[in-house]
Structure 1
Amino acid sequence: MLHIGCHLSSSKGFEAMGKTALSIGADTFQFFTRNPRGSRAKEIDPQDAQRLRELLAEHGFAPVIAHAPYTLNPASADPKTREFALQTLADDLERMEYLPGNLYNFHPGSHVGQGEEAGIRLIIQTLNEILTPGLHTTVLLETMAGKGSEIGRSFDELKRILDGVKLNGQTGVCLDTCHVHDAGYSLAALDGTLNEFDKQIGLQHLKAVHLNDSLNPRGAHKDRHAPIGAGEIGTDTFARLINHPALKQLPFCLETPNDLAGYAREIKLLRQLYRE
């Protein structure tokens, strides 16, 4: 079964997101834990969270994905910036306990001139502080396009982070198709790219996929999302991707530039391309 969804607004609460997902044919979704460009987080209503848990169970949803704010940078040279990232990540994971058994995705960070080794060391340090044995959420590192000093542009960089995490059974990777394409990996040669991922990280650590076409040629390191089939990756590659035996049971989440009607059309298209 294809588990497919999109990014939804959390402004009306948890249950509303679940109902919106159902209305467009989705059985998973992604949402920001708080303002994606800031630090404010809406207070959680435990009853609203319970209603969403019941709805997800009733309709057989795949795990849903919470996304950290873009402003976090645990790899920063500035101690205050790192502390902000640590406190926000820790708070988000505490809030995610209202939705146990789901996923929390974040951009690893940028080393801002310190070098990747220093940045990776700082990301590991943050993860080792926020991960605890009682956590019921899997924390995902997102593959990155490689803009500027971004960390996570290669499978090797992600591997080095995961290898340094003490509780790495609570971690995984979210593969973003636009990002890996822009980083230089070939999705047209999907088997080769997945073999490289498996060699470097292990496919057992791949927990979710962001489905985004790219406006840029492969290796551009620019990160410009496009609707499915409207970019350089192309519909045929997405059809192979969602049907690949190593991927087809994962939650797929659209982050394409779309409104709800556009997401509904893309979800319908991808379901038509999926082979049981």
Structure 2
Amino acid sequence: MLYIGCHLSSSRGLAAMGRQALELGANTFQFFTRNPRGSRAKPLDEADAAALTALLQSHAFAPIIAHAPYTLNLCAAVEDRRTFAWETLADDLSRMEHLPGQLYNLHPGSHVGQGPEAGAAWIAQALNAVLRPEQTTTVLLETMAGKGSEVGGRFEELKAILDQVELREKVGVCLDTCHVWDAGYDLAGNLDGVLEEFDRVIGLDRLRAIHLNDSCNPLGSRKDRHARIGEGAIGTEALARVVRHPALRHLPFCLETPNELPGYAQEIALLRRLAEEAV
């Protein structure tokens, strides 16, 4: 079975997102935990969270993905910004326990001139400060395109963070197809080679989700601009090979393509058809 969904707006509530995902033909989805460009989060509705949990169980969803706001920078050079990020991360993870067993994705951060080694150390320090042995949420570090001072444009940079995290089982990786392509990993020409490199550096057991996006830019551009499936430089057939790959088929795939809901429904149907053609 292909577990695939898209990014949905949480404005109507948690359970409403689950029902909307079903209408789109999805069996997973992603949402922002709070304003993606700010810091404010709506008050938690525990009944709504319980209703979504029941819906996910009754319809055999794959784990869903909560996405941290873009304003979080766990390795910011300014202490106040690091403190904000660490406190927001802790609050989000506390709230996520009302949706047990799900995934929480974040961009690792930008070292802002401190260097990737210092950035990795700050990020790991933040995770060690907020992760709890009893939590059911798995935190995912997202692969990045490598623009500017982003940490995570190379697999080795994510490994440097993961190696310093004490609660190893609470942290994994989300691979974004647009980002790794823009970072220089040739998914279209050598998918097996990219996955072998990921396994050698990080370990495929740490890969817990896929952001499935085409890219507006050529391989290695380090620009991070998502495209609709088949409308970018990666292409439909290459992304079909991603969803068909035996090492990846069990993972939740989430579309972050520039679409409205009808477009997402079409892409979900397309990728289901392409995945089934290989069976």
Query: Same fold by TM-score, threshold 0.5 exceeded?
Result: yes
What's 1:5 paired with?
5
For each residue in 1:131-178, what CA deviation from the matched residue of structure 2 results, as whole angstroms up to 9, or x when unmatched? 111111000000000110000000000011000000011000000000
1:121 to 2:121 alignment: yes
CA drift at 1:127: 0.6
AA partner of residue 130 (structure 1):
V
CA distance in 1, matches of 2:43, 2:17: 16
Name structure 2 gaps, 5 residues minimum: none
Query: Residue in 2 aligned with 1:110?
Result: 110
Aligned residue for 1:214? 215
Instruction: Measure the CA separation in 2 of the matches of 1:87 and 1:233.
Output: 37
Aligned length: 276
Q: Does 1:176 align with 2:163?
A: no
Q: 1:32 aligns to what? A: 32
RMSD: 0.5
Residue 146 of structure 2: aligned partner: 146
Residue type at the aligned position of 2:24: I
- Aligned partners of 2:175 and 2:229: how far apart in 1? 16
1:117 is displaced (CA, Å) by: 1.1
| Counterparts of 1:34 and 1:263, CA distance in 2 | 22
Partner of 1:192: 193
Aligned 8 A contact 2:117 2:160 in 1: no
| Equivalent position of 2:261 in the other structure | 260
CA separation in 2, counterparts of 1:75 and 1:83? 10
| 1:65-123 alpha-carbon deviations (Å, 9 max, x no partner) | 00000011011110000000000000000000000100000000000011111111100
Identity %: 67
For residues 231 and 89 of structure 2, the distance between their equivalents in structure 1, rounded to whole angstroms, comes to 34
In 2, the alpha carbon distance for the partners of 1:116 and 1:54 equals 41
CA distance, structure 2, for counterparts of residue 14 and residue 239 of structure 1 = 30
> Which residue identity does 1:116 align to in structure 2?
P
| Partner in structure 1 of residue 134 of structure 2 | 134
Aligned to 1:76: 76
- Aligned residue in 2 for 1:161: 161
> Match of 2:26, SS?
coil
TM-score normalized by the length of structure 1? 0.99
Secondary structure at the aligned position of 2:6 is classed as strand
In the alignment, the residues of structure 2 paired with residue 111 and residue 15 of structure 1 have an alpha-carbon distance, to the nearest angstrom, of 37
- Using the size of structure 2 for normalisation, the TM-score is 0.98
- Distance in 2, Cα, partners of 1:114 & 1:205: 27
Verify: 1:97 aligned to 2:97, yes or no.
yes
- 1:24-65 Cα offsets, whole Å, 9 max, x none, are 100000000000000100111111111111111111100000
> Which consecutive unaligned segments of at least 5 residues does structure 1 have?
none
Q: What is the Cα deviation at residue 238 of structure 1?
A: 0.9
Distance 2:71 2:44 in 1: 21
C-alpha deviation, 1:228, in angstroms: 0.2
CA distance in 2, matches of 1:116, 1:161: 10
Distance between the aligned counterparts of 1:160 and 1:117, measured in 2? 8
Q: Which residue pairs with 1:59 in the alignment? A: 59
Residue 216 (structure 1) shift: 0.3
Equivalent-residue separation in structure 1 for 2:73 and 2:168 (angstroms): 20
Alignment of 1:44 with 2:35, yes or no, is: no
**Alignment-mate amino acid for residue 271 of structure 2:** L
Moved more, 44-53 or 63-72: 44-53
